[in-house]
Amino acid sequence: MKKKVIAFVFLAEFLNAVTLQEIKIIHKEEGILKALPFYKKLVKEENPKAMYELAKIYLRGEGIAKSTTKAYNLLKESSSLGFNEATYTLAKLYFSQKSPYYNKAKAYNTFIDASEQNHAKAFTMIGKHLLFGITVKKDYKKAVYYFKEASKRKDYSANCYVAYMYASGKGVFPNFGRANVFAKDQYEKGNQFCIKVWNDYNLGNYPSDNGWNIGDYNKPVK
């Protein structure tokens, strides 16, 4: 009996001491069932990153019953605590037609929330909404702004959209050389949209940007 009490006390102390990084190691090496109590412990302590990790597990149904509802509630709570990955994932949940929470207006507004939390990919998604007129009216100038803000934050897929805007002249003065500058790296890495833009506008024929350097962002950050 004494040994059981000691073991219980040791387990309680371990649960209190474990970090999220250590939980991820337990998860990877011993499986979700071993890690689950630790995730739940941090969730009760209102750890937004733990909430996000557990939400992803419920979304995948990894080793436990899949529950979009539990994932949704965890993402909302994590987002309310300011964790931008949770806000972005929540927006994607609203944006997916396969989701029971599908709502394009909520998706757009939540992408805005994620951008305000400085999530790079959220800027790209807002740009797409403005470019294609999803939920909101088309606004090419605003789309360019959001694609550039995403690129500044190193969402490199956004560079393909910046390239498209310069190549097509949507929201900016046409500049094939600048389109080349933004598209080239992702084109060479096999990004399908960049490949399409590169080929559609023959950007290989415009290796240099000879246009006016209007604005503060005329080539992508590395």
Looking at residue 165, what is its pLDDT?
98
What the block records as the tokens of 177 is 């050389």
Looking at residue 14, what is its pLDDT?
47
Containing H/E element for 11? helix 2-17
pLDDT tens-digit map of 128-146: 999 999 999 999 999 999 9
Whole-number Å distance between alpha carbons of 182 and 163: 5
Write out residues in the chain with pLDDT < 70, as ranges.
1-17
Select the CATH number that applies to the domain covering 1-118 from these four: 2.40.50.100, 3.40.1260.10, 2.30.30.30, 1.25.40.10: 1.25.40.10
Looking at residue 46, what is its pLDDT?
95
Looking at residue 215, what is its pLDDT?
75
Q: For the chain, which residues make up each domain, given as ranges? A: 1-118, 140-222
Counting every residue, how long is the chain? 222
Residue 138 class from Cβ within 10 Å (0-12 exposed, 13-18 middle, 19+ buried)? middle
Looking at residue 139, what is its pLDDT?
98
Looking at residue 17, what is its pLDDT?
66
Whole-number Å distance between alpha carbons of 114 and 84: 6
Whole-number Å distance between alpha carbons of 112 and 131: 15
- The one-letter amino acid code at 71 reads A
Looking at residue 163, what is its pLDDT?
98
